[in-house]
A and B are shown apart, each in its own frame.
Chain A
Amino acid sequence: MLKNIRAFFDDRQVIEVETPLLSHHATTDPHLDSLRSRFRDQPCYLNTSPEYAMKRLLASWRISIYQICKAFRDDELGSLHNPEFTLLEWYRLDYDCEQLMDELTVLIETLCARSARFLSLRGGKKIRFERLSYQQAFENFLGINPHRTTSAECYRFALSHGVEIPQGLGKDDVLDDWLDWLLTQRVLPAFQKEGFTFLYDYPASQCALAKIGRDTQGVAVARRFELFYGEIELANGFHELTDPAEQLQRFKLENKARKQRGKDFVCIDNHFIAALEAGLPECSGLALGLDRVLMVLLGVENIEQVLSFSWANA
């Protein structure tokens, strides 16, 4: 698989790079926690993704790049999560989300074409890829417009449709927590089981490091997409935000959100902000979880089955 991926990018003149796994800075993302280590009594952190470092390279080199590396996340362990996992991350200059989704489709098709399971499963039929906007998905499967709804409406929906309500999730909680929950309970299970689905144009509040745009109805949406096989999330892509002032503002808001959730304050990575100030070229980038891709190619259900040694034995 790794060989096929490298050949794929070689053909397209995308350069392989390597960036540090260990950094002075942790991520500010309120939903992620960096694993912490020490160097000469100073704290340092294992990267949760190579995104900041790769964007710094993009700002200085201005060429399309890719990397295959390990990423680490605290408190993520389960049938789809291992605290240490392998990412393929790549950035394409002047691409928007649509072009990057096209390229990801070709890459997945290339990998599936070499998977014995897919060849026998599809019996030579073409693998199906669907594209749904976040709004279409919520409207189709829940009858809710995610850009207009409220936590109270989501709560009522859960009550009246027999969706389990997790302990700690109340009708006064932030809307995104509710959308995340309903997504996992009602949207993802409704996706085609033996095929790939792109979900794109996320609510602007879930923009992370993506640009905000306007959809056809003029609603502000995050130019962001994810790829799923059945309900397994495989990739997350952004039309990258290049505005340093807005990025800094988002980091500050994320730290505020961390505080509200009782998490540690994280120092903002000033190298990264400096790179944006120097000028990040227009680009789109995405991260693909290779352990999960391997799970899909082999048709196994637990990430442990594609790891040489699972966390329990690492």
Chain B
Amino acid sequence: MATYSTNQFKNGLKIILDNDPCSITENNVVKPGKGQAFNKIKAKNLRTGRVLERTFKSTESVEAADVDEMNVEYLYSDGEYWHFMEPSSFEQYAADATAVGEAVKWIKGQEVCVMTLWDGSPLTITPPNFVELAVAQTDPGLKGDTAQGATKPATLETGTEVKVPLFIDEGDILKIDTRNGEYVSRA
């Protein structure tokens, strides 16, 4: 089992905390005068996204997490698993609903996503920051209603509902920011 000592701690280091892989986002040495040093860290749980705070007596060690990141292309879903391919090796990975998480709202096929692997299995899928998706259903906007910033709901081809300006019609291709789920523009 690989371990890291507190003096190897740095941002981005992947370690196991509470049985989950975490990435260190902040590492601070707390040292009272001439006394014992402690490392206070913040770490992001890579599975849940939650941020943990932990303190270690310096020279303690923690288990290293075998975490990899790679770009993969989304192929298809069979209902239970979402299948991705690493484009240079053609190696395929099957991610379950937990790993795909929110990404499912934004991918329809061929998008290049970032996949985090833990011990070789998909842990999380991050969709591209921007995706282009067609509007499957939306009510026609009322003619003459030009109030600034007015929006209406529209359902995208992935089944996700977003707020769009009134002039958007069914069949329009929209650019969406996947980080906040907001409409950016017509593509």
**Chain A interface residues (CB < 8 Å from chain B):** 29, 31-32, 75-81, 164, 166-169, 173, 176-177, 179-181, 183-184, 188, 206, 208, 226, 233, 236, 261-262
Residues of A within 8 A of B32 (CB): 180, 183-184, 188, 233
**Residue among B28, B37, B56 with max Cβ neighbours from chain A (10 Å):** B37
Q: Would you call B35 an interface residue if the criterion is a C-beta within 8 Å of the partner chain's C-beta atoms?
A: yes
Residues of A within 8 A of B59 (CB): 168, 261-262
CA distance A179 to B60 in the complex (A): 18
**How many CB-defined contacts (below 8 Å) exist between A and B?**
68
Task: Evaluate contact between B38 and A81: CB separation under 8 angstroms.
Answer: no
Kindly report which residue of chain B lies nearest to residue A179, judged by CB atoms: B35
Residues of A within 8 A of B163 (CB): none
Kindly report which residue of chain B lies nearest to residue A262, judged by CB atoms: B59
Residues of A within 8 A of B7 (CB): 75
Q: Would you call B179 an interface residue if the criterion is a C-beta within 8 Å of the partner chain's C-beta atoms?
A: no
Task: Evaluate contact between A168 and B56: CB separation under 8 angstroms.
Answer: yes
Residues of B within 8 A of A32 (CB): 34
CA distance A173 to B31 in the complex (A): 17
Task: Evaluate contact between B35 and A180: CB separation under 8 angstroms.
Answer: yes
**Given A167-B55, A177-B57, are A226 and B29 neighbors across the interface (CB < 8 Å)?**
no
Residues of B within 8 A of A167 (CB): 54-57, 60, 62
Main secondary structure of the interface of A (DSSP, over half): loop
Residues of A within 8 A of B120 (CB): none
Selected A-B contacts with CB under 8 Å, 5 pairs = A76-B29, A167-B54, A167-B62, A169-B57, A173-B57
Q: Would you call B13 an interface residue if the criterion is a C-beta within 8 Å of the partner chain's C-beta atoms?
A: no
Residues of B within 8 A of A233 (CB): 32-33
CB distance from B30 to the nearest CB of A (A): 5
CB distance from A305 to the nearest CB of B (A): 15
Instruction: Mark interface residues in B19-52 (1 if CB within 8 Å of A CB, else 0).
Output: 0000000011111111111100000000000000
Task: Evaluate contact between A76 and B31: CB separation under 8 angstroms.
Answer: yes
Given A31-B34, A81-B29, list of 16 further CB < 8 A pairs?
A32-B34, A75-B58, A78-B28, A78-B30, A166-B60, A167-B55, A167-B56, A168-B60, A169-B57, A176-B36, A177-B36, A180-B36, A183-B32, A206-B34, A206-B35, A226-B33
Residues of A within 8 A of B30 (CB): 78, 184
Kindly report which residue of chain A lies nearest to residue B60, judged by CB atoms: A168
**Residue among A29, A168, A208, A262 with max Cβ neighbours from chain B (10 Å):** A168
Residues of A within 8 A of B37 (CB): 31, 75-76
**Residue among A177, A184, A236 with max Cβ neighbours from chain B (10 Å):** A184
CA distance A164 to B56 in the complex (A): 10
Residues of A within 8 A of B35 (CB): 31, 176-177, 179-180, 183, 206
Residues of B within 8 A of A177 (CB): 35-36, 57
**Given A75-B7, A78-B28, are A236 and B33 neighbors across the interface (CB < 8 Å)?**
yes
CA distance A226 to B59 in the complex (A): 25
CA distance A180 to B34 in the complex (A): 9
Residues of A within 8 A of B56 (CB): 166-168
CA distance A269 to B110 in the complex (A): 67
Kindly report which residue of chain B lies nearest to residue A174, judged by CB atoms: B36
Residues of B within 8 A of A226 (CB): 33
CA distance A75 to B56 in the complex (A): 14
Residues of A within 8 A of B62 (CB): 167
CB distance from A55 to the nearest CB of B (A): 16
Please pick, from B29, B33, B54, B57, the residue contacting A75 in the complex, using a CB distance under 8 A: B29
Residues of A within 8 A of B54 (CB): 167
Residues of A within 8 A of B31 (CB): 31, 76, 81
CA distance A176 to B38 in the complex (A): 13
Residues of B within 8 A of A79 (CB): 28
CB distance from B37 to the nearest CB of A (A): 7
CB distance from A177 to the nearest CB of B (A): 4
